[in-house]
Structure 1
Amino acid sequence: MTASPKSRWRDLEAPDIEELEELAAEAFAALPASFRALCQGLVIKVEDFPTDEVLDELGAETPFDLLGLFHGIGRAQSSAVSETGQMPNMVFLYRRPILDYWAENEETLGDVVTHVLVHEIGHHFGLSDDDMEAIEDRAN
């Protein structure tokens, strides 16, 4: 007997920060090795929302406007920057905006997280939208 949709969803809760970090780590591990190599030592951090400073810097109107952010030094710039005191490259995923986007679209949560990861890393390293789409396709 198959559970009805009502009972299947009745006891589910939105993933917390730690659970979304686990999902992001799984999504990152599923990406092609050549793409992951762009970000050796990448740190993936999940926060509920971007900081006010980030929102102001990017001109976002609401905290829900930003799903993720790459912070670091791209491969092209890495040789021009001293490594002393350099922080690791980081991708911030913003849990509440991601969950809001997921609720309004017909994608799985894993697909949304993969998309945000690929695009935050890819744009920073100068990949085209076609390149990023191909990477996402290979990850699924």
Structure 2
Amino acid sequence: MALWDRIKESAASMQTQLEAKKNDLKSGSFRDASMAMCALVAAADGTVDPSERQRVAALITSNDVLRNFPADDLRQRFDAYVDKLTADFDFGKVSVLQEIAKAKKKPAEARAVVQIGIVIGGADGDFDTREQAVVREACFALDLPPHEFDL
């Protein structure tokens, strides 16, 4: 199977798993950690151009699991995390990973945050090594083994 097909299949599988847990994913810590994860994946290469920001924002608002929250609220949180990361990536990454780590109190939410990172990273068909690396870092912040997610 080609790498492209495996990436698409993995992202689709993660989305299906997320949808099955949708009713359990309504806390503020899940919302914030998810938006932090989306921003981290979007900025994995150290920059976020306007088209990428728009693409990820569209994915966020169209994601069925994230519809538990108001779209404007999600967008504001995502933009705030992206701004932190683009102002100073290394410093911003520490702050964003701390926000993601808050979801580790609830293992189902922690796993869902990682799955959202994989879905966002694989949405363009190219879950590249930098995106995988930041999702792997998020796994460590959440006390989850990266190999559980094939990272």
**TM-score, structure 1 length as denominator?**
0.29
- Structure number with higher strand proportion: 1
Look at both structures and tell me which one has the larger radius of gyration over its CA atoms: 1
Question: Which structure exhibits the higher relative contact order, with contacts defined as CA atoms closer than 8 Å and separated by 6 or more residues?
Answer: 2
- Structure number with higher helix proportion: 2
